[in-house]
Amino acid sequence: MEYATGLLLQKINMASLLDKESWLAYIIVPTIAIGLGLLISWLGFAILRLYHKRQPSVFKEQLLQRLKRPIHFFIPLVFLVPVMAYFDPGILWEKLLEAIVIICLAWILVALLYSSEEVVKQKFALKDHKIASERKILTQLHFLKSIAVAIIITIAIASILWNIPSARQLGNTILTSAGVAGIIIGVAAQKSISNLIVGFQLAFTQALKIDDEVVIEGEFGTVEDITLTYVVIKTWDWRRLVLPLNYFNDKPFVNWTFNSRPLIATVYFHLDYTFPVDELRIKLMELLKGSSLWDKNKAELFLTEIDNRTMEVRADFSVKNATDAWNLRCKVREDLMVFIQNNYPEALPKLRGVDVAKKV
């Protein structure tokens, strides 16, 4: 008898728990659904983490880093939405859950795009100096990713607003005056559309690529980022030069790595006529052979100009990239100047007696 009574009470409690009118059901059942979703997402990532430890890969690492948060939101929602639909909490809760689901889906898609881009970046980052074709791929991928992210966010916002009756009515009102609205939007978005077109030109004509070494507004730097509206140049002293995309369509700029990175670095000296040029040529080759910055392709020294007081000597040597060019120029300039000072101090530029007499 007591056993039967206990079973009856349990059935009554379960029935009251699932009763739509029970306030207890509104708390316990959704909580169970959320907890179950969190448990499943946690187990899924735990399995992925173990799999990553056994067989590491950049893609699995990116999934663990970028998808963890959106999935921890999305999986509980998968369980919560049908539960809330059963209890019929009202239009407000229904629209709120729909909006959160849309946001989570957009978040997951954006995270997947960033993860895919990072996988490609890591693949090319294994090389010290990426060739032009690889930097072209990275630039195009980065630009397309930015466009895809903008499209996903736009669709997500539009979907959320479309589910709101008042916002939908507002959209219908705007559509009825599409002519005026189109003109206003076209004028307002003129620069944005122009930037987008310039961005496509830069990304697909290779005029400017990520990691290109450029000289812009008298500043030497490396292209760090290309967005839908601007380009970020990292200067040699780690400042950031931010320029709108239209700048590169309207003004010329120097791209030292347009097709390839190797460069010819140049150092100039102004010396007296009595200086033996061959000695400087021998010393230059000695310095270059002892430097790891020289790529061993080209090294020459020329007497390029003379005037009424000095002669101009130019040293040319090839290097792998612009950074090496700067460092090796400084090294060659310093060491050759020390060589001249120590061995031929009389060959340094000076005023001759006849010049002084003329001035007097």
Query: For residue 357, is it within any domain?
Result: no
Query: For residue 142, is it within any domain?
Result: yes
The first and second tokens of residue 97, run together, are: 């859950």
Per the structure, the complete domain to which residue 314 belongs is given by 263-347
Query: For residue 172, is it within any domain?
Result: yes
Query: For residue 293, is it within any domain?
Result: yes
Tell me the pLDDT of the chain (360 aa) as tens digits: 444 434 433 444 544 555 555 656 667 777 888 888 889 888 988 888 888 888 888 888 888 888 888 998 898 888 888 877 777 766 777 788 888 889 999 999 999 999 888 888 777 664 545 565 667 677 778 888 888 998 898 888 888 888 777 666 655 554 455 454 455 555 545 566 666 677 777 767 777 888 888 888 888 898 888 887 888 999 888 899 999 888 887 788 888 887 777 888 999 999 998 899 999 999 999 999 999 999 989 999 999 999 888 899 999 999 988 888 889 999 999 999 999 999 998 888 776 555 544 544
* Same domain? 140 vs 229: yes
**Using an 8 Å Cβ cutoff, are 87 and 29 in contact?**
yes
Query: For residue 4, is it within any domain?
Result: yes
* Same domain? 39 vs 115: yes
* Same domain? 39 vs 75: yes
Query: For residue 354, is it within any domain?
Result: no
d(CA 55, CA 49): 10
CATH code for position 307: 3.30.70.100
* Same domain? 186 vs 214: yes
d(CA 138, CA 123): 10
CATH code for position 164: 2.30.30.60
* Same domain? 245 vs 277: no
Domain end marker among 204, 229, 258: 258
* Whether pTM exceeds 0.85: no
The count of other CB atoms within 10 Å of the CB of residue 293 is: 19
* Same domain? 215 vs 111: no
Domain end marker among 204, 235, 258: 258
**Using an 8 Å Cβ cutoff, are 71 and 112 in contact?**
no
The first and second tokens of residue 168, run together, are: 């939908």
Tally of domains within the chain: 3
* Same domain? 90 vs 188: no
* Same domain? 213 vs 156: yes
Query: For residue 186, is it within any domain?
Result: yes
Query: For residue 77, is it within any domain?
Result: yes
Domain end marker among 126, 149, 169: 126
